[in-house]
Chains A and B, each alone.
Chain A
Amino acid sequence: MFYRSSAGKGSVAKLAILSFLLLTLFACSETVDLKAQTSVNAQDVKSNSSVSEKVSNELVLDLAVDQEYLDSGQLVLIATLKNGSTNEVSFLPWANPFEKNVTADFLTIVDLTAGVELPYRGIMVKRMPPKPSDYQSLAPQQTISNTIDITSSYTFCADQKLKIVYSGALYNQLSKPYALELNSLEMVLPDAFPDC
């Protein structure tokens, strides 16, 4: 069972229009920032990657929450990536939700009640540069999903009202980030989470 955001499948058309408008707005700027292409409040999004040249593909990254885990006091995200283009996409599944475990701060999580961003408490890893075999391919129109447990990477408390936005990037083999369509999540953490 997925806890979906307001920008779910039914809003794809709106997202596309909004993305087009935002891209047009920033067309005169050399730097097209990732946050300019999201469908969420841009002020809440960290700018983890603002690289001047983004690879244009119709990639949709959708985050959802596994409700069963949430009810039992774990925050497990289900990340779905759809390649809506006619080209194969190859991306590095590091420092993003397509790894088995969290290895970087790729989310912006805001406690809406307190109005503060939750600090990242997970690991930071210095790795060797990726080999070609480290990249993951996605055929045209193909969709992949991955679940990732973020419970121990932030301090979550019962009754917290959260907004979660992806603020990382997906890089191709030239280390250029793909343009992504993103959603945001809002939720209230149940009593199964610890009292803080």
Chain B
Amino acid sequence: MFELFLYHIHFYLLNSILHSSTTEAEEINRLHFYFLWAASFVLLVVTVATIYVIYKYRHHENGQEYQPKTLSGKWEIAMIGVPLAMVVVFFFLMLKTMHHILPSADGKKPDVVITGHQYWWEAQYPGTRVTAANEIHLPVGRTILLKLLSADVIHDWWVPQFGNKMDLISGRQNYLWLNIKEPGIYTGACSEFCGAQHAGMRIRVVAQQESEYIKWLQEHQQVATISDTLAQSGAQIFQSETCGNCHNINGTASNGKAGPDLSHIASRQTLLTGILENNKENLTRWIQDPQKIKPGAHMPKFFLDKHSIDALVAYLSSLK
């Protein structure tokens, strides 16, 4: 009866506190919960023992001389044995989980290559010509391999519901396996301090069914078409104001790599790694004064007149 009760409590807490949206997170959270039970037990024993001892052996003002009592030395051996046994158990549990969720990636082709930049994410899809930024689309229902690189300082990939983190380190290649269970939007954040806008380097993953994912990839291989005249003048301003030195837009002369790829910026739901909703108003505010919205970001203020900004916004908003 009691076991059953504990069993229910265990799974209730496991599922309500730690959300596991990948099989990797499931394994980590299961191990985490075993640990939390063991740790709570140790803490309970220490707390109860402390309270018992300080209550029982508190000083009494009764004038009698007290005789110190001594604990048997045998306890000492037990106190080495019990923690050591716990260490051994958790060591083997750790080995098992660790090898399960992060097997070697030797020679395997990654599904997505993610590069960290100060303060945004680039996602390339090998085998296609697709490069996305900030909103990272991933397929559900199969195990995928992410390759993690950095263009500048150390960043760290972490979507809490996906489980493990992994650093993106300049000069190194790191890998991460994921098997996302359900489609949906998952958010996370860069977790290694990377400079002024570390806090503004959020992660937004769009997990999709395989069919939708493939459809998305195909759409993004196309070049966006613009018909509107305002947008067309925006395209010219984009060139003349040197926006293309940092940003890439497929099918145009703009091929910069320092800033996020804008080929399909209008198809994203958010701007600036998920800080703002993607709409014309926010895009205007951003182009007017980037440092006001995300101080420390590498996009400079261009001092453009209102007409140019409107044209640029019209252009970017049509890049579906």
Partners in one complex: no
